């Protein structure tokens, strides 16, 4: 049988299953091509002059890397002209990007973290792009970037697609259109994403956890308790030995969990409490929560399901605990 490329997978989701519209198919293909372009830019590294600081700060006051800025531009340029979008929002931009009047407007909203794991760019460790797609509400005011913000403030459960690309030893695109999770690997010679795994299922149990242990003293009691119990291993109340991994790129840590199970936590802690958490709801938590749930896992703040949160602001932050369902349930129970 012929290779199933992303294009073919999407045609099947549209034509045979009726899960997606033609415009959503086009949108995902455009995003995947932008991810290929980002992958090429990253691959040049020091040879392409793309490493290092951009000399600017983003809306969150974080120093931008050259590749943060470049990846953001690649995604904007690829998506502005196709007629499939009403507006875009990015972790790297203060306000939404409204589609210029010279192009037709579509019915979707695209949100992205153009390059996740910025601290890993210059040290040649896996980084990624995360994206989320919403329907633009009928009659939404898109007359100015400021006014258009309201259209984006929908709970994660309303997403019609989400995905991420990991730029690691291989470039992999992981996608959900609400019909399970599929994994595509970039064939660099052909220049196309090829389906390498379908109906991904995250094992319900795990013995692997991911958390930044340097923040331990700042965590709340339920997470303190859970991590302490895991560290007690076989001799402790959980009765098994755990292993720990922390890449520091959410995309890479979540991809490991999607591949072989595990639990990822960037919980509420005293250091980030005044910001609401570390990770961004709209660009990181929601798309990852949608993917993880579609793969049979769970995603919570500790107190509530992430996909149920009614966002108040575009750049809102949130505590994130996601992955293997039984372990997430345990941490949630410790919060109750
Ligand atoms: P970024 O989008 O600016 O790269 O920040 C998000 C990243 C996540 O990818 C990762 O899980 C987390 O920040 C790592 O944080 P820390 O450096 O505190 O371990
Ligand atoms: Mg990020």
The proportion of the chain whose per-residue pLDDT surpasses 90, expressed as a percent, equals 90
Residue of 115, 249, 321 best suited for mutating to test ligand 1, as the one with most atoms within 8 Å of CB: 249
Give the environment of ion ligand 2: residues with CB less than 5 A: 113, 116
Is residue 131 situated within a structural domain?
yes
Judge if 127 and 250 occupy the same domain.
no
| Total residues found in the chain within this entry | 336
Q: Which protein residue has the closest C-alpha to ligand 1 atom 17?
A: 248
- Decide whether any atom of ligand 1 lies within 6 Å of the 210 Cβ: no
Judge if 19 and 147 occupy the same domain.
yes
Judge if 226 and 87 occupy the same domain.
no
Of the three residues 141, 174, 197, the one that is the final residue of a domain is: 197
pLDDT at residue 43 tops 90:
yes
Is residue 22 situated within a structural domain?
yes
Each residue's pLDDT tens digit, 54-90:
888 887 778 788 899 999 999 999 999 999 999 999 9
1 — pLDDT class (breaks 50, 70, 90): low
Each residue's pLDDT tens digit, 118-148:
899 989 999 999 999 999 999 999 999 999 9
110 SS3 class:
strand
Angle at 127 between CA 170 and CA 117, to 5 degrees: 170
Per-residue confidence (pLDDT) for residue 202, from 0 to 100 = 98
Helix (H) and strand (E) counts in the chain: 8, 17
Per-residue confidence (pLDDT) for residue 219, from 0 to 100 = 97
Can you give the pTM of this predicted structure? 0.97
The DSSP output letter for 308 is G
Phi and psi of 167, rounded to 5°? -100, 90
Any idea which residue has 């599929």 for tokens?
Answer: 182
Per-residue confidence (pLDDT) for residue 231, from 0 to 100 = 98
- Decide whether any atom of ligand 1 lies within 6 Å of the 116 Cβ: yes
Cβ-based neighbour number of residue 298 at 10 Å: 23
Atom of ligand 1 nearest to the CA of 117: 4
Q: Are strands 108-116 and 85-90 parallel, antiparallel or unpaired?
A: parallel
Closest CA to 186 of 167, 202, 204, 201: 167
DSSP bridge partners of 208: 243
Per-residue confidence (pLDDT) for residue 207, from 0 to 100 = 96
Q: Determine the average pLDDT of the residues in 34-38.
A: 97
Q: Which residues contact 210 (CB under 8 A, 6 or more apart)?
A: 244, 245, 246, 247, 253, 256, 257, 262, 263, 264, 265
53 — pLDDT class (breaks 50, 70, 90): confident
- The CATH number assigned to the domain holding 242 equals 3.40.190.80
Indicate the Cα dihedral angle 132, 136, 141, 144, nearest 10°. Answer: 30
Give whole-number Cα distances, 52 to 38, 118, 121, 125, 203, in Å: 16, 10, 8, 14, 38
* Distance, CA of 129 to CA of 112 (rounded, Å): 7
* Distance, CA of 58 to CA of 110 (rounded, Å): 19
Each residue's pLDDT tens digit, 154-211:
999 999 999 999 999 999 999 999 999 999 999 999 999 999 999 999 999 999 999 9
Of the three residues 197, 219, 247, the one that is the final residue of a domain is: 197
Is residue 1 situated within a structural domain?
no
Each residue's pLDDT tens digit, 93-107:
999 999 999 999 999
* Distance, CA of 122 to CA of 227 (rounded, Å): 30
Judge if 183 and 331 occupy the same domain.
no
What is the pLDDT of the chain when averaged over all its residues? 96
Is residue 220 situated within a structural domain?
yes
- The CATH number assigned to the domain holding 30 equals 3.30.540.10
pLDDT at residue 222 tops 80:
yes
Q: Determine the average pLDDT of the residues in 268-276.
A: 93
Judge if 48 and 192 occupy the same domain.
yes
Structural domain of 162:
6-197
* Distance, CA of 243 to CA of 251 (rounded, Å): 19
């Amino acid at each position: 049988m012929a290779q199933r490329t992303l294009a073919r997978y999407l045609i099947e989701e549209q034509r045979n299953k009726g899960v997606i519209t033609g415009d959503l198919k086009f949108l995902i293909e455009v995003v995947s091509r932008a991810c290929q372009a980002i992958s090429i830019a990253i691959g040049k590294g020091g040879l392409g002059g793309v490493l290092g600081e951009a000399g600017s700060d983003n809306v969150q006051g974080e120093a931008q890397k050259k590749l943060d800025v470049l990846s953001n531009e690649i995604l904007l340029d690829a998506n502005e002209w196709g007629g499939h979008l009403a507006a875009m929002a990015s972790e790297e931009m203060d306000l939404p990007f409204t589609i210029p009047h010279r192009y037709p407007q579509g019915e979707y909203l695209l949100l992205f973290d153009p390059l996740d794991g910025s601290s890993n760019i210059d040290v040649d460790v896996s980084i990624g792009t995360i994206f989320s797609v919403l329907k633009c509400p009928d009659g939404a005011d898109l007359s100015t970037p400021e006014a258009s913000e309201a259209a984006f403030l929908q709970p994660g459960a309303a997403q019609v697609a989400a995905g991420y690309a990991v730029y690691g030893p291989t470039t992999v695109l992981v996608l959900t259109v609400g019909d399970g999770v599929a994994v595509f690997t970039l064939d660099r010679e052909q220049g196309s994403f090829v389906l390498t795994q379908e109906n991904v299922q995250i094992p319900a149990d795990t013995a692997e956890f991911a958390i930044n242990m340097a923040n331990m003293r700042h965590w709340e009691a339920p997470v303190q308790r859970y991590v302490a119990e895991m560290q007690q291993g076989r001799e402790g109340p959980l009765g098994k030995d755990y292993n720990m991994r922390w890449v520091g790129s959410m995309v890479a840590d979540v991809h490991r969990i999607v591949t072989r199970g595990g639990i990822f936590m960037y919980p509420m802690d005293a250091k980030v409490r005044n910001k609401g958490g570390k990770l961004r709801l709209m660009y990181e938590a929601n798309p990852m929560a949608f993917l993880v749930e579609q793969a049979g896992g769970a995603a919570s703040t500790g107190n509530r399901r992430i996909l149920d949160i009614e966002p108040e602001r575009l750049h809102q932050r949130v505590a994130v605990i996601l992955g293997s369902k039984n372990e997430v349930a345990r941490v949630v129970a410790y919060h109750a």
